[in-house]
Amino acid sequence: MTVAGTQRDESWRRLSPRMLLVHPVRELGRYIPALVGLVVAGRSVGDGELWWLGPVGVVMVVALSVLRWATTRYRITPEQVQLRTGLLQRKTVATPTDRVRTVDITASPLHRLMGLARVDIGTGSHGSGAGGGSGSGLLLDSLSVGEAAALRAELLHRSVGPPFDGAVGPSLGEPGAVPFDAVSEADVPAVGEMDTELARLDPRWVRFAPFTMSGVLGAAAILGVAWNLLDQLNVTPTDVGPVRGFVDHLQRTPIWLDVTQGLIAILVAVTVISIGGYVLSYWGFRLSRHSHGSLHVTRGLLTTRATSIEERRLRGVELGEPLLLRAVHAARLSGITTGLTSKRSADGGSSLLLPPAPLVVARAVATQILRDPAPVEIPLTAHGPAARRRRFLRALLPAFLLVVAAGAAIWSGAPLWLGLAAVLTIPVAAMLAADRYRSLGHALSGGALVTQQGSLGRRRDVLECDGIIGWNLRQTFFQRRAGLSTLTATTAAGRQGYAVTDVPVSMAVSLGNHALPGLLGDFLEPEAPEVGALNGPGSRT
């Protein structure tokens, strides 16, 4: 198995044996309903002679997870990372090491107790990765913290880093004795390596949490689960004492008081949940740049997460300024990374570079990452009156339709306040349209395409021109009539395509031509203003 001349250990390695403690516990938790069912079934059939069903179920689950550990192996050769799983149906997933784009190390509280960490190796292949993959790439669940960090260093810095001595066996201390931030401790740079800190969580940033949507989503999720649970347990909410009292209280008090109380209660719940979510996801957040050319993000209160992104895979950043965050001068930052599709997970997933933080901090961090302040500071080119008309038309048309519908409803007997509410949507829509136009714009700066759009979810995308692999110039029927188009720069990174919306056609073509010189040259219409020059010397009198 070993290639002569290398010191690498290329033999198959197992996951950490400590997984034997984690896995069965987790699997048992997952199968609790089935196991309870087995126990109950065993007791109730006949005279209970099937009592052994329950224990056998437990043993089976434990045996299966032991088997999974015993049959899972991985190895790293100079060319490939390979993961082999399965007993009867053997499966080998292999991925070329030079295709490794990101390495994510996560550790749930149970993992941390055992000094373990999950390693998620992202390769950026589209579609679902096979077997042990987690969407795209390989998932090693789990290695000891030390092994995980060493593996990450090996995979990301293989071109320059020291060879990986496979015998990383010696684990860091006893299980359970691993320090809180073991994931980052294990990352202590060796001699000659530098780890520059770019940002660190300021606890005061937690004040931005209520201005994100996470609280609303979290509250909705909790409510949904609670409702489902009550439904499953056949409990009618009004039968529960406190709820009963609450409903009685509502019925005794006037409706405006109910509404006010309800709003305050929702507001408080959303605030508490969003702050909790922020702390859970981003506590201990730290962004640093490694001298080998990678960015490291570590974060998380209970489940810790360490993400490494190779800088040469980083094609730009997205500066997200949703309306509420903008109102308190805050923004969040995520990376545009080749092979790392921006999945919209609540906490930003692996592409997160900065949680909701003051706008000045977000801009400063973006500047440090891009090594150029221009793309985030530069004033953008507006898209002109046609684009403005289109913003207003698209916002006002639904509002007017709403008014018409409300009018029809009132005519057929609906209360009058419905019409008032519908009319009120018009100024709101107009303000939205004005803000959407103000936000709309693009620029070329420092070899990067900058595009910004949106109001409720305003986003400024900075995409290196080197990362652009094509143009889509799209015109709907109405855009053609308005002389506008949507120019999308396609890329292998992040969202796969970054759009410059409703830009005049000539501006779009000129932008594309400047961003990627040469590509559009063959397909340009001969310039109309130069007709005079084409007439030749004879006509110039």
Partner 1 sequence: MQLRDPAHLVSPRAIVFWTVRAVPGWLLLLAGQSLWFVVTQDHVALRVAALTLTVVCAAAHLIVMPHWRYRVHRWEVTDNAVYTQSGWLTQERRITPISRVQTVDTERGPLEQIFGLANVTVTTASAAGPLRIHGLDRTVADGLVAHLTEVTSRSEGDAT
Q: Restricting to residues 26-65, which ones interact with partner 1 according to CB under 8 A?
A: none
Residue of the chain from 133, 210, 277, 339 that contacts partner 1 (CB under 8 A): 339
> What's the per-residue H, E or C state across 277-300?
HHHHHHCCCEEEEECCCEEEEEEC
Q: Restricting to residues 379-408, which ones interact with partner 1 according to CB under 8 A?
A: none
Residue of the chain from 184, 351, 488, 501 that contacts partner 1 (CB under 8 A): 488
Q: What minimum distance in Å lies between the beta carbon of 474 and partner 1?
A: 4
Residue of the chain from 523, 531, 534, 537 that contacts partner 1 (CB under 8 A): 523
Using the CB atoms, write b or e for 392-428: b if 16+ within 10 Å: beebbeebeebbeebeeebeeeeeeeebeebeebeee
Q: Counting contacts by CB under 8 A, is residue 453 touching partner 1?
A: no
Q: What minimum distance in Å lies between the beta carbon of 159 and partner 1?
A: 15
Q: What sign does the dihedral 121-336-305-296 (CA atoms) show?
A: positive
Q: Counting contacts by CB under 8 A, is residue 474 touching partner 1?
A: yes
Q: Counting contacts by CB under 8 A, is residue 510 touching partner 1?
A: yes
Q: Counting contacts by CB under 8 A, is residue 70 touching partner 1?
A: no
Which of the 8 DSSP states describes residue 99?
G
Q: Counting contacts by CB under 8 A, is residue 312 touching partner 1?
A: no
Collapse the DSSP code of 13 into the 3-class scheme (helix H, G, I; strand E, B; otherwise coil) and give the result: strand
| Phi, psi of 308, deg, nearest 5 | -120, 130
Radius of gyration of the chain, Cα coordinates, nearest whole angstrom: 29
Residue of the chain from 525, 534, 539, 541 that contacts partner 1 (CB under 8 A): 525
Distance CA 100, CA 9 (A): 19
Q: What minimum distance in Å lies between the beta carbon of 371 and partner 1?
A: 21
Collapse the DSSP code of 179 into the 3-class scheme (helix H, G, I; strand E, B; otherwise coil) and give the result: coil
Q: Counting contacts by CB under 8 A, is residue 477 touching partner 1?
A: yes
Using the CB atoms, write b or e for 79-105: b if 16+ within 10 Å: eebbbbbeeeeeeebebebeebbbbbb
Q: x-or-dash pattern for partner 1, window 407-446, by CB under 8 A?
A: ----------------------------------------
Q: Counting contacts by CB under 8 A, is residue 447 touching partner 1?
A: no
Residue of the chain from 77, 82, 261, 513 that contacts partner 1 (CB under 8 A): 513
How many residues belong to the site for partner 1 (CB under 8 A)?
37
Q: What minimum distance in Å lies between the beta carbon of 500 and partner 1?
A: 14
Q: What angle do CA 104, 363, 207 make, to 5 degrees?
A: 75
Q: Contact region for partner 1 (CB under 8 A) — 8-16, 71-79, 276-284, 333-341? A: 333-341
Q: Counting contacts by CB under 8 A, is residue 492 touching partner 1?
A: yes
Which of the 8 DSSP states describes residue 330?
E
Q: x-or-dash pattern for partner 1, window 108-137, by CB under 8 A?
A: ------------------x-----------
Q: Counting contacts by CB under 8 A, is residue 527 touching partner 1?
A: yes
C-beta closer to partner 1: residue 303 or 475:
475
C-beta closer to partner 1: residue 151 or 489:
489
Q: What minimum distance in Å lies between the beta carbon of 525 and partner 1?
A: 4
Which of the 8 DSSP states describes residue 351?
G
Distance CA 289, CA 283 (A): 19
With CA atoms as reference, report the closest residue to 383 among 491, 499, 528: 499
Q: Contact region for partner 1 (CB under 8 A) — 286-294, 400-408, 433-441, 476-484? A: 476-484
Distance CA 68, CA 160 (A): 35
C-beta closer to partner 1: residue 135 or 175:
135
C-beta closer to partner 1: residue 253 or 506:
506
**Between 417-439 and 384-411, two packed helices, what is the crossing angle to 10 degrees?**
170
Q: Counting contacts by CB under 8 A, is residue 470 touching partner 1?
A: yes
Q: What minimum distance in Å lies between the beta carbon of 511 and partner 1?
A: 9
Q: Could you identify the residue written with the tokens 């977000």?
A: 362
**Which residues fall within 8 angstroms of residue 348, CB to CB, at 6 or more apart?**
281, 332, 334, 355
Residues that bind partner 1 (CB under 8 A): 126, 338-339, 341, 469-477, 480, 488, 490-493, 495-497, 505-506, 509-510, 512-513, 516, 518-520, 522-525, 527
